[in-house]
Amino acid sequence: MEIIDKSSKTLDFVDKLSKLLEKMQNYKPEVKSLRVNYLDKTTELKLLINVPQGIKRHFRDVEIPAYPGYSIKEVFDGTTFNRIDVTWELKNQNWIAHAAELSASDRYFVILQGQITEDSLAQLVKLYCPEDPKRTTEVDRYWIDSAIKDMAILEKIYDELTIDRVSTCVNVGVERQFASSIPREVKEWFRARAQADVYLASKDRQKGFRSFYRMRLAQRKIGQLSPADVHNLARKALSSETFMYYVEVDKPFHISHLIPTQETRWYPEKIGVSVETDLNYKNPVAQGNLTYKKIEFASKLEEEVRKLPGLPEKLKK
Protein backbone atom coordinates (compact mmCIF):
# COMPACT_ATOMS: atom_id res chain seq x y z
CA MET A 1 0.00 0.00 0.00
CA GLU A 2 1.32 3.45 -0.93
CA ILE A 3 1.04 6.05 1.80
CA ILE A 4 1.73 8.95 -0.57
CA ASP A 5 0.23 8.77 -4.06
CA LYS A 6 2.49 8.68 -7.11
CA SER A 7 1.48 12.12 -8.37
CA SER A 8 2.89 13.71 -5.23
CA LYS A 9 6.29 12.06 -5.61
CA THR A 10 7.33 14.40 -8.40
CA LEU A 11 8.82 16.52 -5.58
CA ASP A 12 12.16 15.04 -4.54
CA PHE A 13 11.79 15.65 -0.79
CA VAL A 14 8.28 14.16 -0.84
CA ASP A 15 9.57 11.04 -2.58
CA LYS A 16 12.17 10.56 0.18
CA LEU A 17 9.48 10.98 2.82
CA SER A 18 7.30 8.41 1.06
CA LYS A 19 10.08 5.83 1.22
CA LEU A 20 10.53 6.47 4.94
CA LEU A 21 6.81 6.07 5.65
CA GLU A 22 6.66 2.83 3.69
CA LYS A 23 9.40 1.41 5.93
CA MET A 24 7.40 2.46 9.00
CA GLN A 25 4.06 0.91 8.00
CA ASN A 26 4.01 -1.32 11.09
CA TYR A 27 3.62 1.85 13.15
CA LYS A 28 0.86 3.34 10.93
CA PRO A 29 2.68 6.67 10.64
CA GLU A 30 0.84 9.94 10.08
CA VAL A 31 2.63 13.04 8.84
CA LYS A 32 1.51 15.93 11.04
CA SER A 33 3.71 18.88 10.16
CA LEU A 34 6.83 20.11 8.41
CA ARG A 35 8.70 23.20 9.56
CA VAL A 36 11.45 24.57 7.34
CA ASN A 37 13.98 27.28 8.08
CA TYR A 38 14.69 28.56 4.57
CA LEU A 39 17.72 30.60 5.56
CA ASP A 40 19.80 27.93 7.32
CA LYS A 41 18.23 25.01 5.39
CA THR A 42 17.07 23.08 8.47
CA THR A 43 13.79 21.23 8.87
CA GLU A 44 11.65 19.65 11.57
CA LEU A 45 9.30 16.84 10.60
CA LYS A 46 6.58 15.76 13.06
CA LEU A 47 5.22 12.21 12.76
CA LEU A 48 2.53 10.47 14.78
CA ILE A 49 3.29 6.76 15.17
CA ASN A 50 1.36 3.92 16.78
CA VAL A 51 3.21 1.46 19.00
CA PRO A 52 0.65 -1.02 20.41
CA GLN A 53 1.26 -2.59 23.81
CA GLY A 54 1.64 -5.95 22.06
CA ILE A 55 4.77 -4.74 20.27
CA LYS A 56 6.19 -3.43 23.53
CA ARG A 57 5.59 -6.79 25.27
CA HIS A 58 6.99 -9.01 22.52
CA PHE A 59 9.89 -6.86 21.37
CA ARG A 60 12.57 -5.43 23.58
CA ASP A 61 13.30 -2.50 21.25
CA VAL A 62 11.34 -0.06 19.14
CA GLU A 63 12.98 0.62 15.77
CA ILE A 64 12.37 3.63 13.53
CA PRO A 65 14.03 3.63 10.10
CA ALA A 66 16.59 6.41 9.79
CA TYR A 67 15.59 9.21 7.41
CA PRO A 68 18.76 10.27 5.46
CA GLY A 69 20.21 13.42 6.96
CA TYR A 70 17.78 13.41 9.91
CA SER A 71 18.00 12.59 13.59
CA ILE A 72 15.36 12.22 16.28
CA LYS A 73 15.09 15.46 18.22
CA GLU A 74 12.21 14.76 20.65
CA VAL A 75 9.40 12.33 21.41
CA PHE A 76 6.07 13.27 23.02
CA ASP A 77 3.27 11.16 24.45
CA GLY A 78 0.47 11.21 21.88
CA THR A 79 -2.21 11.38 24.58
CA THR A 80 -0.82 13.65 27.29
CA PHE A 81 1.59 15.56 24.99
CA ASN A 82 4.24 15.26 27.69
CA ARG A 83 7.84 15.06 26.55
CA ILE A 84 9.37 11.61 26.99
CA ASP A 85 13.08 11.17 27.75
CA VAL A 86 14.12 8.38 25.42
CA THR A 87 17.65 7.37 24.47
CA TRP A 88 17.93 6.62 20.76
CA GLU A 89 20.85 4.77 19.23
CA LEU A 90 21.59 4.68 15.50
CA LYS A 91 22.30 1.11 14.45
CA ASN A 92 22.06 -0.57 11.05
CA GLN A 93 20.22 2.44 9.57
CA ASN A 94 17.58 2.37 12.32
CA TRP A 95 16.95 4.51 15.37
CA ILE A 96 16.57 2.09 18.29
CA ALA A 97 15.14 2.72 21.77
CA HIS A 98 14.18 0.39 24.62
CA ALA A 99 10.43 -0.12 24.63
CA ALA A 100 10.42 0.16 28.42
CA GLU A 101 11.46 3.82 28.16
CA LEU A 102 8.23 4.74 26.36
CA SER A 103 5.15 5.84 28.29
CA ALA A 104 1.97 3.77 28.60
CA SER A 105 0.40 5.41 25.56
CA ASP A 106 0.08 3.67 22.19
CA ARG A 107 0.65 6.87 20.21
CA TYR A 108 3.74 9.07 20.06
CA PHE A 109 4.76 12.25 18.32
CA VAL A 110 8.26 11.88 16.92
CA ILE A 111 10.12 15.06 15.92
CA LEU A 112 12.84 14.54 13.32
CA GLN A 113 15.35 17.30 12.55
CA GLY A 114 17.69 17.56 9.61
CA GLN A 115 18.76 19.47 6.52
CA ILE A 116 17.03 20.31 3.26
CA THR A 117 18.90 20.79 -0.01
CA GLU A 118 18.95 23.90 -2.18
CA ASP A 119 17.16 21.96 -4.93
CA SER A 120 14.39 20.92 -2.53
CA LEU A 121 13.94 24.52 -1.39
CA ALA A 122 13.57 25.55 -5.02
CA GLN A 123 10.85 22.89 -5.40
CA LEU A 124 9.12 24.13 -2.28
CA VAL A 125 9.20 27.93 -2.68
CA LYS A 126 8.93 30.34 -5.59
CA LEU A 127 11.02 33.46 -5.06
CA TYR A 128 11.30 36.33 -7.53
CA CYS A 129 12.93 39.74 -7.40
CA PRO A 130 13.92 41.62 -10.58
CA GLU A 131 17.32 43.24 -10.94
CA ASP A 132 15.85 46.42 -12.44
CA PRO A 133 13.45 48.45 -10.30
CA LYS A 134 10.53 50.63 -11.31
CA ARG A 135 11.95 54.13 -11.11
CA THR A 136 10.30 57.42 -10.25
CA THR A 137 11.92 60.78 -9.62
CA GLU A 138 12.02 60.22 -5.86
CA VAL A 139 12.35 56.46 -5.35
CA ASP A 140 13.22 53.09 -6.87
CA ARG A 141 10.86 50.18 -6.18
CA TYR A 142 11.86 46.52 -6.31
CA TRP A 143 8.97 44.05 -6.55
CA ILE A 144 9.35 40.89 -4.41
CA ASP A 145 7.16 37.83 -4.96
CA SER A 146 7.35 34.61 -2.92
CA ALA A 147 4.94 31.71 -2.61
CA ILE A 148 4.64 28.07 -1.62
CA LYS A 149 4.62 25.89 -4.72
CA ASP A 150 2.36 22.89 -5.36
CA MET A 151 -0.02 23.66 -2.49
CA ALA A 152 -2.52 21.04 -3.68
CA ILE A 153 0.12 18.33 -3.33
CA LEU A 154 1.55 19.50 -0.03
CA GLU A 155 -1.82 19.86 1.71
CA LYS A 156 -2.48 16.17 1.04
CA ILE A 157 0.73 15.23 2.86
CA TYR A 158 1.30 17.69 5.71
CA ASP A 159 -1.44 18.80 8.11
CA GLU A 160 0.69 21.87 8.81
CA LEU A 161 3.48 23.46 6.79
CA THR A 162 5.55 26.42 7.94
CA ILE A 163 8.48 27.92 6.06
CA ASP A 164 10.34 30.39 8.24
CA ARG A 165 12.76 33.09 7.10
CA VAL A 166 12.18 32.88 3.36
CA SER A 167 14.99 35.17 2.33
CA THR A 168 16.18 37.01 -0.75
CA CYS A 169 18.82 39.66 -1.37
CA VAL A 170 17.66 42.77 -3.20
CA ASN A 171 20.62 44.45 -4.91
CA VAL A 172 19.83 48.14 -4.60
CA GLY A 173 21.65 50.36 -7.09
CA VAL A 174 23.37 53.31 -5.39
CA GLU A 175 25.96 54.19 -8.03
CA ARG A 176 24.05 57.18 -9.46
CA GLN A 177 23.65 58.79 -6.04
CA PHE A 178 27.37 58.53 -5.29
CA ALA A 179 28.31 59.70 -8.78
CA SER A 180 26.10 62.81 -8.50
CA SER A 181 27.13 63.68 -4.94
CA ILE A 182 30.92 63.40 -5.20
CA PRO A 183 32.65 66.42 -6.85
CA ARG A 184 34.00 65.78 -10.35
CA GLU A 185 37.55 66.69 -9.27
CA VAL A 186 37.52 64.03 -6.55
CA LYS A 187 36.35 61.40 -9.03
CA GLU A 188 39.14 62.46 -11.42
CA TRP A 189 41.72 61.83 -8.70
CA PHE A 190 40.41 58.32 -8.08
CA ARG A 191 40.36 57.54 -11.81
CA ALA A 192 43.94 58.76 -12.20
CA ARG A 193 45.04 56.71 -9.20
CA ALA A 194 43.34 53.59 -10.58
CA GLN A 195 45.07 54.04 -13.95
CA ALA A 196 48.42 54.56 -12.24
CA ASP A 197 48.00 51.31 -10.33
CA VAL A 198 47.17 49.45 -13.55
CA TYR A 199 50.21 50.75 -15.41
CA LEU A 200 52.44 50.16 -12.41
CA ALA A 201 51.34 46.53 -12.32
CA SER A 202 51.94 46.20 -16.08
CA LYS A 203 55.45 47.71 -15.74
CA ASP A 204 54.73 50.20 -18.52
CA ARG A 205 56.94 52.96 -17.14
CA GLN A 206 56.03 55.62 -19.70
CA LYS A 207 52.28 55.31 -19.16
CA GLY A 208 52.90 54.95 -15.45
CA PHE A 209 54.72 58.30 -15.26
CA ARG A 210 51.94 59.99 -17.26
CA SER A 211 49.23 58.63 -15.02
CA PHE A 212 51.12 59.69 -11.87
CA TYR A 213 51.44 63.18 -13.36
CA ARG A 214 47.67 63.31 -13.94
CA MET A 215 47.13 62.13 -10.39
CA ARG A 216 49.30 64.98 -9.03
CA LEU A 217 47.36 67.49 -11.09
CA ALA A 218 44.10 66.08 -9.73
CA GLN A 219 45.53 66.25 -6.20
CA ARG A 220 46.05 70.00 -6.55
CA LYS A 221 42.37 70.43 -7.40
CA ILE A 222 41.14 68.60 -4.29
CA GLY A 223 43.49 70.48 -1.95
CA GLN A 224 44.06 68.87 1.46
CA LEU A 225 41.23 66.38 1.07
CA SER A 226 42.28 62.87 2.05
CA PRO A 227 40.95 60.12 -0.28
CA ALA A 228 40.79 57.88 2.80
CA ASP A 229 38.11 60.21 4.21
CA VAL A 230 36.08 59.76 1.02
CA HIS A 231 36.34 55.98 1.39
CA ASN A 232 35.18 56.26 4.99
CA LEU A 233 32.25 58.42 3.91
CA ALA A 234 31.09 55.74 1.47
CA ARG A 235 31.51 53.01 4.08
CA LYS A 236 29.53 54.89 6.73
CA ALA A 237 26.80 55.88 4.27
CA LEU A 238 26.13 52.21 3.54
CA SER A 239 26.30 51.05 7.14
CA SER A 240 23.16 49.68 8.78
CA GLU A 241 23.01 52.69 11.07
CA THR A 242 22.68 55.06 8.09
CA PHE A 243 21.35 53.29 5.02
CA MET A 244 18.42 51.59 6.78
CA TYR A 245 16.72 55.01 6.93
CA TYR A 246 16.51 55.06 3.14
CA VAL A 247 15.01 51.64 2.44
CA GLU A 248 11.67 50.20 3.54
CA VAL A 249 9.69 47.13 2.60
CA ASP A 250 6.00 46.30 2.55
CA LYS A 251 4.55 43.81 5.02
CA PRO A 252 4.69 40.83 5.44
CA PHE A 253 8.37 41.27 4.55
CA HIS A 254 10.96 42.78 6.85
CA ILE A 255 14.58 43.83 6.34
CA SER A 256 17.03 41.71 8.31
CA HIS A 257 20.46 43.13 7.38
CA LEU A 258 22.63 44.65 4.68
CA ILE A 259 25.06 42.65 2.55
CA PRO A 260 28.14 44.49 1.17
CA THR A 261 28.82 43.67 -2.47
CA GLN A 262 32.16 43.10 -4.17
CA GLU A 263 33.15 46.37 -5.78
CA THR A 264 35.52 47.10 -8.64
CA ARG A 265 35.33 50.89 -8.18
CA TRP A 266 36.23 53.11 -5.27
CA TYR A 267 32.56 53.91 -4.73
CA PRO A 268 29.91 51.18 -4.59
CA GLU A 269 27.52 50.36 -7.40
CA LYS A 270 25.07 48.34 -5.29
CA ILE A 271 24.26 47.32 -1.73
CA GLY A 272 22.51 44.06 -0.89
CA VAL A 273 19.41 44.32 1.29
CA SER A 274 18.37 41.00 2.84
CA VAL A 275 14.59 40.68 3.06
CA GLU A 276 12.69 37.92 4.88
CA THR A 277 9.15 36.64 5.42
CA ASP A 278 7.34 33.52 6.69
CA LEU A 279 5.00 31.34 4.63
CA ASN A 280 2.39 28.78 5.69
CA TYR A 281 -0.96 27.36 4.57
CA LYS A 282 -2.81 30.39 5.92
CA ASN A 283 -0.41 32.82 4.24
CA PRO A 284 1.08 30.92 1.29
CA VAL A 285 1.95 34.04 -0.73
CA ALA A 286 3.97 37.15 0.17
CA GLN A 287 4.25 40.09 -2.21
CA GLY A 288 5.39 43.66 -1.84
CA ASN A 289 7.84 46.39 -2.78
CA LEU A 290 11.18 47.29 -1.35
CA THR A 291 11.40 51.07 -1.73
CA TYR A 292 14.73 52.88 -1.97
CA LYS A 293 14.45 56.61 -1.22
CA LYS A 294 17.22 57.63 -3.58
CA ILE A 295 16.71 61.40 -3.57
CA GLU A 296 16.83 61.56 0.22
CA PHE A 297 19.94 59.38 0.21
CA ALA A 298 21.63 61.58 -2.40
CA SER A 299 20.88 64.65 -0.25
CA LYS A 300 22.44 62.92 2.74
CA LEU A 301 25.57 62.14 0.72
CA GLU A 302 25.88 65.74 -0.45
CA GLU A 303 25.56 66.93 3.14
CA GLU A 304 28.31 64.56 4.29
CA VAL A 305 30.58 65.51 1.37
CA ARG A 306 30.38 69.18 2.40
CA LYS A 307 31.66 68.17 5.85
CA LEU A 308 34.77 66.41 4.51
CA PRO A 309 37.87 67.97 6.09
CA GLY A 310 40.21 69.61 3.60
CA LEU A 311 37.64 69.85 0.78
CA PRO A 312 38.11 73.21 -1.00
CA GLU A 313 35.16 75.58 -0.60
CA LYS A 314 34.72 75.87 -4.36
CA LEU A 315 33.99 72.11 -4.55
CA LYS A 316 31.23 72.22 -1.97
CA LYS A 317 27.76 72.18 -3.51
pLDDT, position 62: 78
Asked if 108 and 116 count as a contact pair (C-beta separation under 8 A), the reply is no
- For 171-182, the pLDDT digits (tens) are 999 999 988 888
pLDDT, position 189: 79
Residue 200 to residue 205: CA distance in whole angstroms: 7
pLDDT, position 171: 93
Neighbouring CB atoms inside 10 A of 36's CB total: 24
pLDDT, position 8: 46
pLDDT, position 172: 95
Residue 237 to residue 218: CA distance in whole angstroms: 24
- For 292-303, the pLDDT digits (tens) are 999 999 999 999
Asked if 271 and 239 count as a contact pair (C-beta separation under 8 A), the reply is no
Asked if 85 and 103 count as a contact pair (C-beta separation under 8 A), the reply is no
- Residue in 282, 64, 73 with CA at minimum distance from that of residue 160: 282
Q: Which residues of the chain have pLDDT under 70?
A: 1-13, 53-59, 197, 199-204, 208, 262-266, 315-317
Residue 169 to residue 270: CA distance in whole angstroms: 11
pLDDT, position 206: 74
Please provide the average confidence, as pLDDT, over all residues in the chain. 84
